[in-house]
Amino acid sequence: MALTAESAAALQIYRTVEPRESRIPAGKTTLYSREIGHGPPIIVLHGGPDFDHSYLLPDLDRLADAFRLIYYDQRGRGRSADHVSPGDVTLISDLEDIDRVRQHFHLRSVALLGHSWGTVLALEYALRHPERVSHMILMNPAPASASDRAVFRKAYAQKLGADMDRQADIMAGAAYREGDP
């Protein structure tokens, strides 16, 4: 898909604000964060649990003119993987890390935007700390409990059947990884 001069100019609007990167202490490791934009803050919780935040950038960065977006790689993922063993990554550590990010940016109450696995984290955090959450945006929510996830996986496998191999091929392709499925 070719980028026209008009669409390139439209995309430049949100790129006028340069991202700022930082490291947030988190026990034996640090959490990588990327902040862009001005306005009300939103902590962005990526999916996974094996992804980093980068797949969300092309779409969400467009909001940087109206919102302050705070992305971070969850513990053990992406650029937050140094000195982390599998046993260090738990639901509790993920929730504590959301609070570390909130405190690092001196936020009393914050909007949480969660995608997939990030919605589970957003909901759990809000249930435990409602006074620290002003708003929640849940994109493509994941099933919250282990039993719900098992039911979803079974139904998904039955629905897709042979299409699962095709889906895996598509997701492994360069076009998909570069954001153009």
Per-residue pLDDT at 39: 93
Q: Are residues 79 and 124 in the same domain?
A: yes
Same domain as 180, residue 111: no
Q: Where are the beta strands (DSSP E) in the chain?
A: 20-26, 29-36, 41-45, 68-72, 110-115, 133-139
| Percentage of residues in the chain having pLDDT higher than 90 | 48
Mean pLDDT over each residue of the chain, to the nearest integer: 82
Predicted local confidence at residue 21, as pLDDT: 95
Residues 131 and 51 in one domain: yes
Alpha-carbon gap, residue 42 to 45, rounded angstroms: 9
Per-residue pLDDT tens digits for 143-162: 766 676 666 667 666 666 65
My answer on whether 99 and 110 are in the same domain is: yes
Quickly count: other Cβ atoms within 10 Å of residue 138's Cβ.
17
Please count the structural domains in the chain.
2
Identify the CATH number of the domain in which residue 133 sits: 3.40.50.1820
**Res. 139 pLDDT band, cuts 50 70 90:** very high
- Same domain, residue pair 128 and 153: no
Return the number of other C-beta atoms located less than 10 Å from residue 77's C-beta.
Answer: 21
Is 109 in the same domain as 97? yes
Asked if residue 1 has pLDDT above 50, the reply is: no
Q: How confident is the model at residue 106 (pLDDT cuts 50, 70, 90)?
A: very high
> Do residues 90 and 178 share a domain?
no
- Give the C-alpha distances (Å, rounded to integers) separating 163 from 149, 169, 170: 20, 10, 10
Rounded distance between C-alpha atoms, residue 19 and residue 16, angstroms: 9
Tell me what percent of the residues of the chain surpass a pLDDT of 70: 70
The yes-or-no verdict on residue 50 having pLDDT over 80 is no
What pLDDT is stored for residue 157 in this prediction? 65
pLDDT at 115 over 60: yes
Nearest CA to 80 out of 69, 71, 91 is that of 71
Residues 104 and 82 in one domain: yes
Task: Identify whether residues 135 and 153 lie together within a single domain.
Answer: no
Residues 38 and 4 sit within 8 Å (Cβ to Cβ): no
What is the predicted pLDDT for the residue at 9? 52
Going along 29-179, which residue ranges are E strands? 29-36, 41-45, 68-72, 110-115, 133-139
Instruction: For residue 162, give its domain range.
Output: 145-181
62 and 45 in a common domain: yes
Range from 129-138, 141-150, 168-177 carrying the lowest mean pLDDT:
168-177
Q: How much is the pLDDT for 87?
A: 80
Indicate whether 33 and 106 sit together in one domain: yes
Residue of 47, 39, 105 lying closest to 74 (CA atoms) = 47
Q: Are residues 64 and 15 in the same domain?
A: yes
